[in-house]
Structure formats: C-alpha cells, structure tokens
Amino acid sequence: MVLRDIKKDSPTWAWERSTEHGKAWAQQWRILQTRRKCAGTRGGAQQGHKRNVDFGFSPESDVPLVISYADVEAAAQRLRGVAHRTPVLTSRTVNSATRAELFFKCENLQRMGAFKFRGAYNALAHFTPEQRTRGVLAFSSGNHAQAIALSARLLEMPAVIVMPKDAPALKITATRGYGAEVVLYDRYTEDREALSARIAAERGMTLIPPYDHPHVMAGQGTAAKELFDDVGTLDLLFVCVGGGGLISGCAVATRALAPQCEVIGVEPEAGNDVQQSFRRGEIVHIDVPRTIADGAQTQHPGKLTFPVIRELVHDVVTVGDAALVRTMRFFAERMKLVVEPTGCLGAAAVLEGTVPVQGKRVGVIVSGGNIDLARYAQLLTHGLS
C-alpha cells in the first residue's frame, strides 16, 4: 500500500491531512520514498533506514506503521475508569480437551457488549472542542455503531450512524437507545463509505471508521494489554478479524509484551479477505460475504491495518459457520456466556483444531456478545437449518 492508493475523501485520506499523527505518518512515508529512489532498488531502500521507534515499519513494504505500543499505553490511560477491565476466564473442560491452557478475554462483557467501545472512546476523546460541537459520524453493522453512540453520549456530542438495513435489530435498537441518529442503507447495493463521507461533509461531522483509524486501532489493543497484564506470557493469541482494527492493535501490544507469542487471526470461511491479502502480500477485495459472523462481513482489510497485520501477525486461518454455532453452544453450556458468532471466531479455531495448541498457553479474545435473543435461541436449538 502506498499513499497515492488512498482514495480522496476516504476516512484514511482525511485522517492523514487533518491530524498531527496522520501528517507525521505521511511525512515518514515520503522520506522512505525518497530513500528508495536514491538507493535505486527496493533492497537498497530497505537497508537505508532503521526502524522508527514511534511508528515502526513493515519490512516487506517500507510502509510506516501508524501506531506503536506507546499509543496503546496512552489509550489505556484514557480508558481507565471508563471502559470495563473485562475478566479473563478459564475452563478445565476445554483445557482437558485441547491439552492446553486457555485464557478467554471476555470482551462480550465490555460496555455495550463488545471490544469496540475501547477504540471508539479513545478516538472521540481526541476530538477538539469544535469537533465535539459538530459531532461524529460512523458506519457499522452494529458493534462499532453502538460503541460510537455510547462514547458520544458520554462525551456529550451528537452522533450519526450509517447502518445496513439487515443489521441485527438488537444492534440498531441499542444504537438509537444511546441517542444516535441512525441512517440505514443496503449493504449489497450501496457504498457505505461514500454515503458516510457525503453526510459527514454536509453536516461538518468527523468521520470515525470502524477499524482503519490509528486511535481506534490503539484503543482495541488495550484488550491484549490487559490480557498479558493479567496472565503473563502466552505462546499463541487468537483474535477475530474483520477489517483488522482489533488484531492490529493486539499485535502491537503483543510485540511489546510477549514478543515470542504468535498472533493468529481468524476469519469466517465465506469472508477470508484478510487471509487472501495476507497470503498475497497485498490488499484483496471480495464481495460482501454471506456469513452469520456479521461483524466480520468486511470486503477488504484497512490500508492502515494491513501493514501491521502483514508484519506482526503470524497467520490468518478460517472457520465455517457451523463451527461458530458449535462454539456458541459451548460457551452457553459450559461457560454460561452469551457470545455472538463473530465473537466465537478465535475460540472456534482452537476448539475445532484448526491450529495445534497442545502443550501451549493460549489467549483468546472473545470479541462480543451482541445477538438478537430469538436468533441466538434459533442457532443454539436448530443450528444453521
């Protein structure tokens, strides 16, 4: 990914031009391009610079990474006393079955029911007084919508959320309940980013995307920071993947706190855009995936998240919807937890044996628990039929 590939008026384009962090990131990119030209080859450019402490660099692409562990630490300070420090739960049953030691970071018990609150609040806490007066706009299938709506209410600013018409009714209702205005669109025929950019421009609001934003990424990384603070070092960390905000933040925290730990991303089989991108070394776009994991129905990783994933993530694997249902049932029956399908991705990869874990200490981010009760009961009782 290079800066000229960023579409004008996209959230990333606006961030790069309107924030000090964004301007510094762009400056680092331009310096690298100059060095590359002087060196004459990609390899020469690689040898011509050292790793930048503040940003970090992706060795494969020479693209500066937009967050560092210092950003995660700063986010943790902003979230102190605001976000829940969610519990880490264990299960003798699953430890016996996998012959490993598993630690579940239960973000389904976070405020508004998902990890998304961390990134949303951290992003809005950076707003200037003028931005707070004009308000925030976001697009989301549900959890980011609720997170932005709740954070905006806590910080006393207006919020508009662009949501797909087929988003879970519970998530639409909750978003409105937090005081946000909801604008619905058809995810299969309309471009949510273009619609959101137009509304933001018309109303003078600040657009906060669901994952491709440094303050969002840093906020999400605090989940992994808390996990390592509570349980110590790990061998593997499983993280669900949509657009990459959670896994990129968690990967940065992992590199700082447990550099030997391998971060494994998990996607639904029907929506493996990040896995394809990871394998090819470039961002791959796919059609809107049809999966029960509505929080992972992304079409491509972010231009800011992908360089972090490519450098710091060990692998990206997939699990099927049937496996997600079985994992939902496990959480309900054995751990008495309500977990939405997307929140089951990481655990499903472990429980289904997608990645060998025997003899290892394993962390799993349980990302959220927002699901309509009727749909939840249907899936537990009848599965996908």
Question: What does the pLDDT look like over 257-283, one tens digit per residue?
Answer: 999 999 999 999 999 999 999 999 999
* Gap between the Cα atoms of 207 and 196, Å rounded: 8
Q: Which residue has the higher pLDDT, 140 or 342?
A: 342
> To the nearest whole percent, how much of the chain has pLDDT over 70?
84
Contacts 24+ apart (CB under 8 A), 122-126: 122/75, 122/78, 122/79, 122/215, 122/216, 122/218, 122/219, 122/222, 123/151, 123/208, 123/213, 123/215, 123/216, 123/219, 124/148, 124/151, 124/152, 124/155, 124/157, 124/208, 125/78, 125/155, 126/19, 126/215
Q: What is the mean pLDDT of the chain?
A: 87
* Token pair 């331009």: residue: 30
Determine the pLDDT at residue 24. Answer: 56
Q: Which of 16, 212, 273, 321 is catalytic?
A: 273
Residue among 40, 32, 38, 39 at smallest CA distance from 58? 32
Q: Which of 62, 71, 267, 294 is catalytic?
A: 267
pLDDT band at 20 (very low <50, low <70, confident <90, very high): low
Beta pairing partners, 335: none
Q: Is the confidence at residue 37, as pLDDT, over 90?
A: no
pLDDT band at 1 (very low <50, low <70, confident <90, very high): very low
Q: Is the confidence at residue 15, as pLDDT, over 70?
A: no
CB distance 121 to 381 below 8 Å: no
**What is the SS3 assignment for 291-353?**
CCCHHHCCCCCCCCHHHHHHHHCCEEEEECHHHHHHHHHHHHHHCCCCCCCHHHHHHHHHHCC
CB distance 237 to 254 below 8 Å: yes
The DSSP letter of residue 269 is G
Q: Which of 141, 151, 196, 277 is catalytic?
A: 141
Sort 108 into a burial class: Cβ within 10 Å, 0-12 / 13-18 / 19+: buried
Other beta carbons less than 10 A from residue 201's beta carbon: 13
Determine the pLDDT at residue 23. Answer: 59
Determine the pLDDT at residue 170. Answer: 82
Q: Which of 61, 367, 368, 369 is catalytic?
A: 367
Residues 6+ apart with CB under 8 A from 269: 291, 318, 319, 320, 321
User: Is 96 annotated in the active site?
Assistant: no
Q: Which of 271, 302, 346, 369 is catalytic?
A: 271
User: Is 116 annotated in the active site?
Assistant: yes
φ, ψ (nearest 5 deg) of residue 317? -120, 175
Determine the pLDDT at residue 16. Answer: 54
* Gap between the Cα atoms of 368 and 341, Å rounded: 9
User: Is 181 annotated in the active site?
Assistant: no
Q: Which residue has the higher pLDDT, 150 or 45?
A: 150
User: Is 61 annotated in the active site?
Assistant: no
Determine the pLDDT at residue 141. Answer: 75
Q: Which residue has the higher pLDDT, 177 or 55?
A: 177
Determine the pLDDT at residue 169. Answer: 84
User: Is 271 annotated in the active site?
Assistant: yes
pLDDT band at 331 (very low <50, low <70, confident <90, very high): very high
Determine the pLDDT at residue 39. Answer: 43
Q: Which residue has the higher pLDDT, 42 or 18?
A: 18
Q: Which of 16, 62, 113, 116 is catalytic?
A: 116
User: Is 226 annotated in the active site?
Assistant: no
Q: Is the confidence at residue 45, as pLDDT, over 70?
A: no
- Give pLDDT tens digits for 83-141: 999 999 999 999 999 999 999 999 999 999 999 999 999 999 999 999 999 999 998 87
